[in-house]
Amino acid sequence: MPKRAGALALRPPRVLLALGTVSLALAASVGPPSAAAEPADAVSAISLVEQRVIEIPDSRLLSLSPDGGSIAVTRPAGGDADQLCIHDSETLAERACADVGDLDAHLWIESVVWSLDSRWLAFAELWPQYFSDGDLWLMDASTGGLTNLLDDAITLPQHPTFTPDSAAVTFSRTVVQDGEHHGADIATVPVTGGDAVGLGGSMRGPTDYYGLHWTADGSRLYALVVHHQGQEYGPDSGIWLYQADAMNARQLVSAADLDHGLESIVAATSGGEQLLVRWGMPLDRKPIDRFALVDGDSGAVEPITSLRPKARRSKPIIAATLSPAGALVLTVSGRRGRQVAVRDVAGLHETILLNEERGDAPSSLSHVSTWAQNDTVLILGGGWGRGTLLVLDRGDRSGG
């Protein structure tokens, strides 16, 4: 397939933004995803049971818990967060709050992540922006209690994710000695506290790891690596696969082979067969379908494009997520209106759940936070504290 021109969109921390952006030659590998697709009747059996627009005043909605019972928010809605709070997704009543206003480098809002058992949240501090020492924090979702998991004054943590058993937090860390950055690696620390254990993947020079995702059995970890060499992205930039035993790390896809550049790894199937990735915004800002599936073994890239080509200009895909087991993809399309659809990972069958010509359409920066285990989906949009909760029914099928 011929290469397609685009712009690299990997985002380093703000302290590295001065390094600039670089154009890359781009190529997308063609071929059907290796993960087994759901049969057509599984997609057609899905229906929308309830659509509910929600609003939590003076708050910024972040994400839905994996069990679908809670919503994480920060307050106030704009600027630095003073509180990280949990609200009941049904009643919207506040359950617990943590005071995060006194952190040295402030709460890194984009780093907040749920444990798979919905008991904990982990987050880092925004040290790249504030040039201050930052720590790794754990919040009890039921009480709001905070625990500092990493206060060593040597490493700067970022981009946490929980291990599949919710017993530990995996994160990337930048090593600082004598005021200088000396590379980065990946490590894991128990939620009960203790020493962080390195997973490997250490790289010299300015390096960052985005979108860490474990497979369900905890045997493999995927990460988007950004490795800088002067004012360019080095050859190590791209998607990497790490083994839990810290052996045989390998680059799955080079950044030079990713259409439009990568912004993040959004989700992964439970076995790591497929990774859902998000493209960066092209420099000309023309509407595009901004997601793709990457084969977790071969690295083959398959863009997720509209199954209705005539609708592409008015309804490009701007948000997507995977079902809990990863067999299905939920997409959100539209600019002035909104269309929500579910398809199998092969993109052969699709059911449109919602089609609104106007209303609280998500902006290009909005996203689907979670397709929860109870088949509730939260779509952000319409303002900091507003979103839409969708309750789905899969008929008599429970897989996917």
Q: Rounded to an integer, what distance in angstroms lies between the CA atom of residue 65 and that of residue 118? A: 6
pLDDT of residue 345: 87
Tokens of 375: 């088949």
Section 381-397 average pLDDT: 84
Q: What is the rounded average pLDDT for all residues in the chain?
A: 79
CATH no., domain 4-393: 2.130.10.10
pLDDT digits (tens, 9 = 90+) for 321-352: 999 988 899 998 876 678 899 999 888 889 99
Whether the predicted pLDDT of 34 surpasses 80 = no
Residue range 161-178: average pLDDT? 88
What is the rounded average pLDDT of the residues 275-292?
A: 72
Of 15-24, 43-52, 148-157, the one with minimum mean pLDDT is 15-24
User: Given this model, what pLDDT does residue 171 score?
Assistant: 92
**Model confidence at 21: pLDDT above 90:** no
**In the prediction, which pLDDT does 397 show?**
53
CB contact at 8 A, 342 and 349: no
- Confidence band for 210, pLDDT divided at 50, 70 and 90: confident
Tell which residue, 218, 99, 209, 101, has the closest CA to residue 157: 209
Give pLDDT tens digits for 55-79: 999 999 999 999 999 999 999 987 7
List the one residue out of 187, 244, 198, 249 whose CA is nearest residue 219: 244
Q: In angstroms, rounded to a whole number, what is the distance separating the alpha carbons of residues 55 and 309?
A: 34
- pLDDT tens, 229-273? 776 778 888 899 998 877 778 899 988 776 567 778 888 888 899
pLDDT of amino acid 347: 84
User: If you ran DSSP here, which 8-state letter would residue 104 be given?
Assistant: T
| pLDDT above 80: residue 222 | yes
Contact 370/64 with Cβ under 8 angstroms?
yes
Which of 68-77, 84-93, 110-119, 263-272 shows the lowest per-residue confidence on average (mean pLDDT)?
A: 263-272
* Confidence band, pLDDT 50/70/90 cuts, at residue 22: very low
171 close to 191: Cβ distance less than 8 angstroms: no
What pTM was computed for the model? 0.84
DSSP secondary structure of 4-53: EEEE------GGGGGG---EEEE----S--SSPPPPHHHHHT-EEEEEEE
Per-residue pLDDT at 289: 64
303-327 pLDDT, tens digit per residue, is 888 776 555 555 778 889 999 988 8
Please calculate the CA angle 83-322-281 and round it to the nearest 5 degrees: 75
Question: Residues 359-373: pLDDT tens digits?
Answer: 554 443 446 778 999
Dig out the tokens for 94 from the structure.
């506040």
- Whether the pLDDT of residue 29 is over 50: the answer is no
Q: Helix-strand-coil percent breakdown of the chain, rounded to 5?
A: 5, 50, 45
CA 121 remoteness from chain centre: 14
Higher-confidence residue of 191 and 259: namely 191
Predicted local confidence at residue 313, as pLDDT:
52
pLDDT at 78: 78
Nearest CA to 174 among 195, 147, 194, 153? Answer: 153
The residue written with tokens 């679908």 in the block is 68
pLDDT band at 179 (very low <50, low <70, confident <90, very high): low
pLDDT at 239: 92
